[in-house]
Amino acid sequence: MTELSAFADATRPARPGEEILLGFTVALRAAGVAVTHDRAQAYLEAVALAGIANARAAYYAGRATLCGSPADLERYDQVYEAYFDPRAGLPRRRQAPPGVPTASTSILPESEAGGAGEADDEEIVRARASAAEVLRQRDIATLTANEKARLAEMFATLSVRPPLRRSGRLRPWHRGSLDASRTLRASLRRMGEPARLEFRRRALRARPVVLLVDVSGSMSSYADALLRLAHRLGTSGGPVETFALGTRLTRLTRALAARDAERALIAAGETVPDWSGGTRLGETLQAFVDRWGRRGLARGAVVVVFSDGWERGDASLLAEQMARLHRIAHSVVWVNPHRGKANYEPVQLGIRAVLPHVDAFVAGHSLAAFAELLDVISRA
């Protein structure tokens, strides 16, 4: 953990520390953590008591005051790492790469950007927020390399909630079916006197998710972002399996298991032998169903296929394999990057073949579309 002493000296007269900490609570709320006004106020008071120059104390003050569940702790760590730059000390504004226009210069008119003081700082903060929202809505295929690098940092803000299913195990609950054994034991502990009735219900567990990512040439503009999304899902705690679809089927689950997203993507790139090649969706889906799906990997799972549907093989074979997959899976979601574009029509042979066998047909061209997709998966 980097000490914050540098912040107190080096960032003055940049934004006040309280404003930066409040910005962090806003980012945390956007990531799905229920940060109320009272929690934010308690966080500021705790940091003030601990001293803003003490990075470790400020970090644990946030965990103690802003998080309400174990799931919140994981999101807190991810947003904390994305929001603050540990290489330069905490908290301070990230420096833009040389030659890259900042959000304030790209959005604000020059006449409004030439002032100084708190009013300008406030405008810059608003402009940066607007730039992030614009970047969140833009088509990934149209982004520059620098914009993709900024977007990669924003993947940590995606809220991942795995789909749930009821397991065979029963757990104590405040209502449900009567738990006769626990009720009887409670009565025996009271020497036979009537005790409170105990109840139980079936426990909930995460439903498996299977991701099939098309890495052919027509999807090369989106492949990096889709694998980042797969890594985000795979490190969220639920059971997630990832495969690459091209001219052959490649399992990427182990390659994407690395905690660091960049290392995981490099490992995935080294694993896939047919990156940016052709597409044989029917044959690769058949290989998946025969080798993995029927053996249990896809049974009862939420299967998500990322593809534009450009099929070079037999479309009837693709329809047949999608029907098989739909019969064994709990839900099948097809994600098409072109689905979110204006005037899009599902006229491709591959898309027309698979639509009768999918439960949801959604867009996947931007970070905002990914957030909606995660919501679809969690409700499946």
Model confidence band, residue 118 (pLDDT cutoffs 50, 70, 90): low
Give the mean model confidence (pLDDT) for residues 215-236.
90
Share of residues in the chain with pLDDT > 70 (%): 84
Model confidence band, residue 96 (pLDDT cutoffs 50, 70, 90): very low
pLDDT at 280: 85
pLDDT 10s digits, 7-37: 444 444 445 677 788 888 878 877 777 777 7
pLDDT at 112: 44
Among candidate residues 287, 308, 309, 283, the one with its CA nearest the CA of residue 297: 287
Q: Residue 200: which H helix or E strand, with range? A: strand 199-206
Among candidate residues 27, 15, 31, 149, the one with its CA nearest the CA of residue 92: 15
pLDDT at 125: 58
Domain ranges across the chain: 17-84, 166-205, 209-379
Model confidence band, residue 6 (pLDDT cutoffs 50, 70, 90): very low
pLDDT 10s digits, 286-304: 999 999 887 788 999 999 9
pLDDT at 369: 93
**Across 96-110, 173-187, 351-365, least confident range:** 96-110
CATH architecture of 209-379: 3-Layer(aba) Sandwich (3.40)
pLDDT 10s digits, 145-183: 888 888 988 998 899 999 999 888 888 988 888 999 999
Residue holding tokens 């105990």?
198
Whole-prediction pTM: 0.63
User: What are the residues whose beta carbons fall under 8 Å from the beta carbon of 191, sequence distance 6 or more?
Assistant: none
Helical segments of the chain, H only: 5-10, 17-30, 37-50, 55-66, 70-83, 103-107, 110-113, 118-137, 145-154, 180-189, 220-234, 261-271, 281-288, 315-328, 349-354, 367-378
pLDDT at 11: 42
Residue 316 CB-density burial (10 A; 0-12 exposed, 13-18 middle, 19+ buried): exposed
State the angle between helix axes of 55-66 and 17-30 in degrees (0 to 180), rounded to the nearest 10: 40
Listed ranges 87-96, 178-187, 274-283; the one with the highest mean pLDDT: 178-187
The phi-psi region of residue 42 (left if phi > 0; otherwise alpha if psi is between -120 and 50; otherwise beta) is: alpha
Mean pLDDT over the full length of the chain? 81
